[in-house]
Amino acid sequence: MRRLILPVLLAGLVVSTGAPGAAADDMGEAARAGQWQLGALGLPQAWRSSKGDGVLVAVLDTGVNARHPDLTGAVVQGPDLTGAGKGLWGPHGTAMASLIAGRGHGDDRKGGVLGVAPAAEVLSVRVTLENGDPLRAKQRTGWRDALAQGIRYAADHGADVISMSLGGGSGAWEGAAAEEEAVQYAIGKGAVLVASSGNDGAAGNRKNFPAAYPGVIAVGAVDQRMKVAGFSNRQDYVSVVAPGTEIVTADGGDSYVVGDGTSSAAAMVAGIAALIRSAHPGMSPYHVRMAIEQGTRRRPSDGYSPEYGHGVVDALLALRAADRMDVPASGLARPGLYFGDGPGPASRVPVVVGMVMLLAVMSARVVMRYRRRGRDYT
């Protein structure tokens, strides 16, 4: 039986905003000051073009606390698919939502956590419980298909982006047919799917699902020096890497926590996807992925590596890449097409060149026969 686990993340200092007056303000300001990723991702410049307006990001996680000061007005509550019969939110889901669409609070919203796409909305879909929740073991049979159901629910309810900061565990690392089918269903509906690559890079470095499913943008973690974190999985399905150490997030109540994990990195990339979708509403999942991969820094010398994927994400560069490749709807990649694992855009260059040459030959009225087999991978 397959069991979902969340990567170890929220281990660190917790501070509360419950204190009155100046103390609460100080805590909010401290949380904002600790958000080193805002500058690293080029967000102040990127926000001049897009803040995620009009985009719905589904957070498939432990549920989101819509009452946290930094998430007020940002959350749409979806279903609890775990069958646990308890509250609708957990600390981990709330943390991930804050990194995607946190809006801060206080005067001019100068305090608290700002997400990558602060104008986006979050659709909370509960598909798993917190790591330490004793109900996890008791409820496994009731929610073993929760992730697949959650993906389909999000796609059917208009999610532009689906963020999954979770992965396979308890010895089940092979994935599941129902989940893979749900992934392709969501891509066919136009959703961009993002998942954490996994946190056992220093141990088993096992293939992690849903990150390893074709079409999902798998995200690893880097530290403040832009070096891949020791815990970040190194696999040929890794698409990009993003900040994932000493990350300040909203906690389950009205507090904050500092922690490490590819969970945070994936949430940030989901936020970048939301920025792109807001600026280019008609852009296909494939082109959004290409823009994110092409708009990276610290790119490996040969264009791709299992450690860095295509490089360290940068919101501003990704938006610029999306601007360059924005095409009419008739020119978008066919939704539902498998996009595969490993190296991406570079591997498609020969195909693109061949298509251009073919068009030129056809325009010269030279008749040729052309047959193509196989699936389209990036």
Enclosing H/E stretch for 196: strand 192-196
Q: What is the reported pLDDT for 134?
A: 66
The reply to whether 61 belongs to the active site is yes
Q: What is the reported pLDDT for 4?
A: 31
The reply to whether 16 belongs to the active site is no
Q: Which two tokens stand for residue 364?
A: 């010269």
- Residue 223's identity, in one-letter code, is D
Q: What is the reported pLDDT for 108?
A: 80
Q: Which of 42, 66, 108 is nearest to 275 (CA)?
A: 42
Q: What is the reported pLDDT for 140?
A: 52
Q: What is the reported pLDDT for 292?
A: 98
Strand ranges for 234-346 from DSSP E: 238-243, 247-250, 255-259, 296-297, 312-313
Write down the catalytic residue from 61, 251, 254, 260. 61
- Sites in the chain below the pLDDT cut of 50: 1-22, 141-142, 169-172, 329-378
Write down the catalytic residue from 263, 278, 284, 305. 263
- Name the phi and psi angles at 241, rounded to 5: -125, 155
Query: Three-state SS for 7?
Result: coil
| CATH of region 3-339 | 3.40.50.200
- Residue 231's identity, in one-letter code, is F
Q: What is the reported pLDDT for 111?
A: 86
Q: What is the reported pLDDT for 252?
A: 76
Q: What is the reported pLDDT for 328?
A: 53
- Cβ contact 262:201 at 8 Å: no
Q: What is the reported pLDDT for 170?
A: 38
Tens of pLDDT, residue by residue over 266-305, are 999 999 999 999 999 999 999 999 999 999 999 999 999 9
Q: Provide long-range contacts, Cβ within 8 A and 24+ apart, for 131-137.
A: 131/5, 131/6, 131/8, 131/92, 133/84, 133/90, 135/84, 135/86, 136/3
Q: What is the reported pLDDT for 167?
A: 78
Domain ranges, ordered by start, for the chain: 3-339
- 121 - beta bridge partners? 56
DSSP class of 71: G
Write down the catalytic residue from 50, 70, 80, 92. 92
* Unique residue bearing structure tokens 């689906």: 162
The reply to whether 92 belongs to the active site is yes
Q: Which of 325, 327, 315, 345 is nearest to 242 (CA)?
A: 315
